[in-house]
Structure formats: C-alpha cells, structure tokens
Amino acid sequence: MVSLFSGRILIRNNSDQDEVETEAELSRRLENRLVLLFFGAGACPQCQAFAPVLKDFFVRLTDEFYVLRAAQLALVYVSQDPTEEQQDLFLRDMPEKWLFLPFHDDLRRDLGRQFSVRRLPAVVVLKPGGDVLTSDATDEIQRLGPSCFANWQEASELLDRSFLQPEDLDEPARRSITEPLRRRKYRVDRDAGRSRGRSRSGHDSGDPQGDAGAGAELW
C-alpha cells in the first residue's frame, strides 16, 4: 500500500496540516489497513451531498467516542478541485484523520486514470496489499453505513489487531478518567498507614514527637 504513495507527501487534515513524508510514517498510517481513496470536488453538488455521509461513516468507525478500538481504516482525499482554495474549503469540516495529497501533486489526476474513475464522487476501496476491493463504494456506504466495513474486512482477509492494546497515531495512550482519583486514594491510604505505624512507635518509645511527626506527614 505504501508503494502507491512512495516518494510522495500526504498531508493530515488537521489545523497544522502536518506532512506525512517518510516511509515509516506512511507505513504507520497505511499498512494493514483498508484504504479509501475518495475522489471528489467541492464544486460538485453530488460530492457536497455525499461528504457528510462519508464523514459520519468514517467517524463512527475510527473515533473512540463510538468504538472501543478504531477500525483499521484510512482515507485519502484525492481532490479533483480546480483551485487549492476550493480544496481547502471542502476539507475544512472533514475529519482530522483524513489524509490528502498536496494540490500541486499531479498524482491527484494520475490516480483517477489509474483506477478508472468516471464520475464524482467515487470511493475506491483498496486492500492492505494495494489491490482493488471495490472500484466505487459510494452507493454501498450510503445504503449500509459503517456495517459494510465488516464485509470489506472479511473479503480482504485483513489481519485483525483487536487483541492488541489500543493505539493512537498522534497521542500517547489515554488514561482512565478515574486514574487520578485512584492514585490519590492509594497515596492517602498508604500515608495513613505509615502515620499509624510511626504513631505507635512514638508511644512505645516514649518519644513525645511521635504524634507530631505523624501529623506533619499528612497532606
């Protein structure tokens, strides 16, 4: 899959528009994933109508708000926009995890010819090895929504990585929201135990500072 974009730069659709330009970075984002090539244009009314559907489809499969683990799915927007401004406007409300080719890259046009794209919008689904699984999945996505991913996963014999720990390409693994409370409770219980031990030791030895020393340790 990486070979399709070898020597090219892909850009993340985040506010900084970070570039994905090394082979290692491309591998992290594309290897062992189904890759959707979304051919569209902001000036195309059909694309404007389909874009929210595709956005919802992608988010419900990759956002941890909806799923325990993000699906092994990547999307590359292959712009057919006539101007860079229209491309940027079209991508403005799309997910940050989407990737896209720079506007000046001729691969935008070459990919359309390579995959025989005849109309817009079009979504070409590629297996992890780069072979075409579906030449145009726009109708399937509109009819079945996220459930069609399971069909693609089975048909492409995608290696299931659900047994691995969750991963995030951009951030460290998130901790439980209750972890700070649990850590604080553990520390209070631990220090209270130590204080009781020192208090007993102070009384046994006749040390008048036994209780004072224990109290100074509390926080």
Per-residue pLDDT tens over the stretch 105-140? 999 999 999 999 999 999 999 999 999 999 999 999
pLDDT tens across 5-28, in order? 988 999 999 999 999 988 899 899
Q: How far apart are CA 92 and CA 87, in angstroms?
A: 9
Helix/strand/coil percent split, the chain, to 5: 45, 15, 40
2-160 belongs to CATH 3.20.20.70 = no
Beta bridge partners of 36: 75, 125
pLDDT of residue 161: 55
Domain boundaries, the chain: 2-160
Positions of the chain with pLDDT lower than 50, given as ranges: 163-167, 171-188, 190, 194, 198-219
pLDDT of residue 64: 85
Structure tokens at 191: 């220090």
pLDDT of residue 6: 87
Q: Full-prediction pTM beyond 0.75? A: no
CA distances from 166 to 9, 42, 60, 63, 170 (A): 27, 34, 16, 12, 12
pLDDT of residue 188: 46
